[in-house]
Chain A
Amino acid sequence: SQQGEEDPQALSIQEGENATMNCSYKTSINNLQWYRQNSGRGLVHLILIRSNEREKHSGRLRVTLDTSKKSSSLLITASRAADTASYFCATDSPQAAGNKLTFGGGTRVLVKP
């Protein structure tokens, strides 16, 4: 897989359920970031986890990072219809001189009311 690949590609859940999506990457990283994109809109930054961190929380979001497996997961608890969006992981690699982000293909999440 390429740097920053999410799975599943799509996820459909009922409101109130938890949504979990995973991201795998190939190279070493400075940090890994999760973004949300509503249809046709920009990327909203959700959470950043540094390479020396293992878990981070922000509201209903929980992110884990396993650098030995080069993978991360994003958990959205108690989902709401407004959480319907695409979610992307993006990695910042120390090899990137300009601090560019490399994005995965995203997970499309549908939360049904």
Chain B
Amino acid sequence: EPEVTQTPSHQVTQMGQEVILRCVPISNHLYFYWYRQILGQKVEFLVSFYNNEISEKSEIFDDQFSVERPDGSNFTLKIRSTKLEDSAMYFCASRDRGYRSNQPQHFGDGTRLSIL
């Protein structure tokens, strides 16, 4: 069964450094998402992306965050200058075309980001 893949599985970065989290969505999907889950807390929406532009973003997704679909397969999340509070599990998800009511989002296994 096709799946969303994320790399790396664990990223350790010094505070203030840039980090890029990578995702390969399911190949025929058109809608892409990033979520994060701070340890012990709820999964929180960050951003949705469709047709090469952001559809919606949350308050968390400030100007330190950016997303890109540099080619036909990858979908990346960049954090320009990481803070301690960015430590979390980051999940990528994708959704197929079709009427939104019927389409689930499929998630990757996540990247655990640890900021030191």
User: Measured between alpha carbons, how far is A92 from B3 in the docked complex, in Å?
Assistant: 21
Check if A113 is an interface residue, CB within 8 A of chain B: no
User: Measured between alpha carbons, how far is A103 from B35 in the docked complex, in Å?
Assistant: 10
Check if B33 is an interface residue, CB within 8 A of chain A: yes
Say yes or no: A43-B48 contact (C-beta < 8 A), given A98-B56, A99-B100, A100-B56.
no
Check if B116 is an interface residue, CB within 8 A of chain A: no
In the complex, what residues of B have CB within 8 A of residue A100's CB? 33, 45, 48, 56, 58
Query: Is the CB–CB distance between A35 and B100 below 8 Å?
Result: no
Q: How far is the CB of A18 from chain B (nearest CB, A)?
A: 24
Query: Is the CB–CB distance between A43 and B101 below 8 Å?
Result: no
Mark contacts of A97-109 with chain B using CB atoms, 8 A cut-off: 1 yes-contact digit, 0 otherwise: 1111111111000
Instruction: From A19-27, A44-52, A62-70, give the one contacting chain B.
Output: A44-52
Query: Is the CB–CB distance between B45 and A35 below 8 Å?
Result: no
Check if A41 is an interface residue, CB within 8 A of chain B: yes
Give the residue among A30, A98, A104 with the most B Cβ atoms within 10 A: A98
Check if B69 is an interface residue, CB within 8 A of chain A: no
Check if A42 is an interface residue, CB within 8 A of chain B: yes
List 8 extra interface pairs beyond A100-B48, A101-B35, CB under 8 A. Answer: A40-B112, A42-B108, A48-B102, A48-B104, A98-B47, A100-B58, A101-B45, A102-B45
Interface residues on A, range: 20 to 34
Give chain A's interface residues, CB within 8 Å of chain B: 30-31, 33, 35, 40-45, 48, 50-51, 88, 90, 92, 96-106
In the complex, what residues of B have CB within 8 A of residue A31's CB? 100-102
Query: Is the CB–CB distance between B56 and A96 below 8 Å?
Result: yes
Query: Is the CB–CB distance between B42 and A104 below 8 Å?
Result: yes
In the complex, what residues of B have CB within 8 A of residue A44's CB? 107
Query: Is the CB–CB distance between B48 and A98 below 8 Å?
Result: yes
In the complex, what residues of A have CB within 8 A of residue B105's CB? 33, 45, 99, 101
List, sorted by A's number, 11 A–B pairs whose CB atoms are closer than 8 Å: A35-B107, A42-B6, A42-B107, A43-B91, A45-B104, A97-B56, A98-B33, A99-B31, A100-B45, A103-B35, A105-B41
In the complex, what residues of A have CB within 8 A of residue B42's CB? 103-106
